[in-house]
Amino acid sequence: MRVLVVANRDDADPGFVGERLAEHGAELRYLLRESTDSWPDLSGADLVLVLGSDWSVYWEHVRAEVAAEAALLRAAHVRDLPVFGICYGAQILSHALGGSVRRADWTEIGWVELDTDEPLVVPPGPWFAWHFDTYTVPPGAVELARTGAGPHAFLVGHTFAVQFHPEVD
């Protein structure tokens, strides 16, 4: 299985998620957000894993990089290529698929419990959260979990996104 891991240069550790993928024979190939011009196409990929970031989707100084990543994620989604977004990954997936991202009314840093509609898919936690932004669930997606700060998980087609950090080790 070939996994494309989208990450920032200084924060490209997929933690527990990467360990589990490797246990199942996955080959991880890193696509650095700071170098979108060197990204391969999606040919041969079996999964796109979108890690967190200290960026915000709406920052003007990373506009070109956000546009390139959103285009890649839309292309993967349209091809029914499985995509798993974590934290910023959920935010940019929302953005790419027609939702919106904004500064949250309050930050969530630390362990959180979720109000979950699908506890077999997204258990209530505790889960580690570290984010300053929130998003709207994109059109056609099903919101699976949330806290008072906003959505924490959604699913649309083969695209799954969580605002918390299951990779934290």
Rounded alpha-carbon distances, angstroms, from residue 65 to 4, 29, 68, 94, 156: 16, 18, 5, 16, 24
CA–CA gap between residue 99 and residue 90 (Å, rounded): 10
* Catalytically annotated residues: 87, 165, 167
User: Would you state the pLDDT for residue 55?
Assistant: 96
Per-residue pLDDT of the chain (169 residues; tens, 9 = 90+): 999 999 999 989 999 999 999 999 999 999 999 999 889 889 999 999 999 999 999 999 999 999 999 999 999 999 999 999 999 999 999 999 999 999 999 999 999 999 999 999 999 999 999 999 999 999 999 999 999 999 999 999 999 999 999 998 7
Look at residue 115 in the predicted model and tell me its pLDDT. Answer: 96
CATH code 2.60.40.10 for 2-162: no
Please, are residues 101 and 62 in contact by the beta-carbon 8 Å criterion? no
The residues spanned by each domain of the chain are 2-162
pLDDT at 38: 87
Where do the DSSP E strands lie in the chain? 2-7, 27-32, 47-50, 83-86, 101-112, 115-116, 127-135, 142-147, 150-156, 159-162
pLDDT at 103: 94
The pLDDT of residue 40: 87
Cα→Cα distances 3→33, 54, 81, Å: 16, 22, 11
Q: Does the N-terminal peptide bond of residue 40 adopt cis geometry, omega within 30 degrees of 0?
A: no
